[in-house]
Amino acid sequence: MPSKTKIDTTGDPLAYLMLPPPNETEEQRQARLAAEAEAKRISDAIDEELQRQAKAEKRSPKPVKILLLGQSESGKSTTLKNFQLMNTPRAFRAERASWRAVVQLNVVRSIRVILDAMSDAQAHQLPQTSSPIRTHAPELSHSHSTSSIASRYRHPPLTAEHQVLKLRLAPLVQVEEALIRKLTPIGSSELEATQLRANGSHADRARALDKEVAVHSQFAWKDMLQRMVGRISSEGEEGELDEPTRILHACAADMFTLWHDPTIKAMLRAQAIRLEDLPGFFLHSLERVTHPKYVPTDDDILRARLKTLGVSEHKFTIKEGGMNRDLRIYDVGGHRSLVRAAWAPFFDDMNAILFLAPLSGFDQVLAEDETVNRLEDSVLLWKSICSNPLLGKTNLILFLNKIDIFRAKLDAGIRFGQYIISYGNRPNDYDSTSAYMRRKFGQIHKEYSPQARKFYCHFTAVTNTKSTSEVLVNIQEMIIVTNLRNLNLAD
């Protein structure tokens, strides 16, 4: 006999779904009840496990969270790479091959800057005068006085051989396009890729320099490239190299000649372009990085430049005081217009903010706003972070970064006081200028912090893994210990 169970289903739409089939036999009913009992047993076991995990999580210390902040190109992602190299070296190195396309793109970009400067110089080629070459003009600054415009083109003239070199390097445009395609597959709206223009005025070039390949932090570009690289290396033969690698290898000698040519060097000096200070500079290792079997070293990965969009979370487990601690680092994109507003939601729960201010930016303007000096932008950003009430209790750690480039600029005779007016005529050496900036950032920290807190400040070159890891180990320790102390106080 089919069983007839009467269930009141009014008001509960789910109850209909739970009804037994209308013509259920006694045997079917027993089987259904047994299945339901088994399902309940499994469900209860899962609930129990979840409760156990939740209790365990409550007992174990909360993860320690560090947010990396600073303007675009300040070195946030490079600092993250240092954390990865220090805490998960195997995973960091497993991604080596994926970085090759980024290094290749960086090489092409540097060559494109030279080719653009050549076009600019050729368009303005002047009869030679005996006036000296201006060597220390502000990088990509725009001075409109006739004499300064003339001095931009006061160098030995470019010759027919230079023109030939330029034509021979034209296939690099193709490489740039192929690499951008590789990093930005069709339909991937998460990526923003733009190219440098082949021609264009000085102002155009300054604007174009801002346009670079950016990768969204959530996009798994490394996995994708890793698979492609795996395919290429398993194919093995040199004849089957991917197009960018093949063309870059074929153009290597011409790129080398171009970069080492004295007239080109004089032209770049006259146009105040210090390529070696720009991010992603690899022209000093052309032979190595254009080799068909090139695999990036740790150092190359740290120097490779790929702009970040969005925010990404990176988890590490580190040993501290004989215990495993969960460390989370957040890397954000620092570009002014796009992302700074997106930082605020991350302020709430951070144990520390690691703020990067590149001192080397003292003679540069922001890529996104040519009226703003980069160092001044860093100072203003620091002021807003120090004074933010949401961050009143957060440890702020300042990295006065890129001191290697900063030193090189001072050594080249670029005058700090010419750009940082308040510095005046004080000595133009590293010790005096860096101490001045440390004081300046320290004063802001003291004056604007909602309540007194310690000023942690380090002079860094985060592309130097050895010195950076020493600083980061201390910081990790300090933050974890402070976190534990606060937890104990809260108990």
Interaction of residue 305 with ligand GTP, rule CB under 6 A: yes
What count of Cα atoms within 13 Å lies in the side-chain half-sphere of residue 216?
Answer: 12
Q: Encoding tokens for residue 245?
A: 């690698």
In one-letter notation, the amino acid at residue 261 is D
Q: Figure out which of the listed residues 334, 353, 459, 471 binds ligand GTP, where binding follows CB under 6 A.
A: 334
Which tokens is 33 given? Answer: 């009840």
Q: 72 contacts which partner out of ligand GTP, Mg ion, none, CB within 5 to 8 A by kind? A: ligand GTP
Q: Give me the residue label for tokens 């740290």.
A: 302
Binds 98: which of Mg ion, ligand GTP, none (CB < 5-8 Å by kind): none
Is residue 388 within the footprint of Mg ion (CB under 5 A)?
A: no
Q: Tell me which of 244, 279, 296, 361 binds ligand GTP, using CB under 6 A.
A: 279
119 belongs to the binding site for Mg ion (CB under 5 A): no
Instruction: Give 74 or 434: the residue with its C-beta nearer to ligand GTP.
Output: 74
E strands of 263-349, at which residues?
A: 307-309, 311-320, 323-332
| Of 358, 364, 439, 441, the residue nearest 405 (C-alpha) | 358
Name the DSSP class of 98: G
- Greatest distance between any 2 Cα atoms in the chain: 114
By CB under 5 A, residue 72 contacts Mg ion:
no
Q: Is-contact 260 213, C-beta < 8 A?
A: no
Site string for ligand GTP, 347-386 (x = CB under 6 A): ----------------------------------------
Q: Which two tokens stand for residue 307?
A: 């702009």
CB of 107 to ligand GTP, least distance (A): 12
**CA pair distance 70, 292, nearest whole angstrom:** 36
Q: Give the one entry of Mg ion, ligand GTP, none that residue 244 binds, where binding means its C-beta sits below a cut-off of 5 to 8 angstroms depending on kind.
A: none
Kindly state whether residue 308 participates in binding ligand GTP, applying the rule CB under 6 A: yes
In the complex, minimum distance from the CB of residue 170 to ligand GTP, in angstroms, rounded to a whole number: 26
Q: Are strands 323-332 and 311-320 parallel, antiparallel or unpaired?
A: antiparallel
Taking the least distance from each CB to ligand GTP, the nearer of 65 and 76 is 76
Tell me the helices (H) and strands (E) count for the chain, helix number first.
20, 8
User: Is 219:188 a contact under the CB 8 Å cutoff?
Assistant: yes
In the bound state with Mg ion, the residue whose beta carbon lies nearer, of 154 and 303, is 303
Question: Which stretch, 72-80, 140-148, 159-167, 391-399, contacts Mg ion (CB under 5 A)?
Answer: 72-80
> Is residue 333 part of the contact set for ligand GTP (CB under 6 A)?
yes
Q: Which amino acid is at 3?
A: S
Q: How far apart (Å, rounded) are the C-alpha atoms in residues 184 and 181?
A: 5
User: Does residue 77 interact with Mg ion by CB under 5 A?
Assistant: yes
- The three-point CA angle 106-257-115 to 5° equals 50
For residues 238 and 292, the answer to whether their CB atoms sit within 8 Å is yes
Q: Which residues are annotated binding-site positions for Mg(2+)?
A: 308
Taking CB under 5 A as the binding criterion, the range among 71-79, 224-232, 275-283, 407-415 that sits at the site for Mg ion is 71-79
Query: Using CB under 6 A, which of 64, 66, 76, 82 touches ligand GTP?
Result: 76
463 binds ligand GTP (CB under 6 A): yes
Show the CA angle centred on residue 217, arms to residues 380 and 174, nearest 5°.
Answer: 105
Find the residue with minimal CB distance to ligand GTP.
334
Which of 308, 351, 401, 434 forms a contact with Mg ion (CB under 5 A)?
308
Asked if residue 75 binds ligand GTP (CB under 6 A), the reply is yes
The entry of Mg ion, ligand GTP, none near residue 458 (CB within 5 to 8 angstroms by kind) is none
Total binding residues for ligand GTP by CB under 6 A?
Answer: 25
- Choose one: 229-237, 277-285, 303-311, 481-489; the region binding Mg ion (CB under 5 A): 303-311
- Give alpha helix (H) positions in 124-242: 146-152, 160-168, 172-183, 202-210, 221-235
**Which token pair is 87?**
């805490």
Tokens 């939740």, residue located: 54
Does 296 bind ligand GTP (CB under 6 A)? Our answer is: no
Tell me if 154 sits within 8 A of 133, measured CB to CB.
yes
* Tokens linked to 63: 């993860």
Applying CB under 6 A, does 434 fall inside the site for ligand GTP?
no
Site map 213..232 versus Mg ion, x via CB under 5 A? --------------------
Point out which span in 12-20, 75-83, 91-99, 377-385 binds Mg ion (CB under 5 A): 75-83
CB 255, CB 283: distance < 8 Å: yes
CB of 362 closer than 8 Å to CB of 374: yes
Residue 88 or 312: the one with the smaller Cβ distance to ligand GTP is 312
Q: For residues 52 and 284, which CB has a smaller minimum distance to ligand GTP in the complex?
A: 284
Q: Contact residues for Mg ion (CB under 5 A)?
A: 76-77, 308
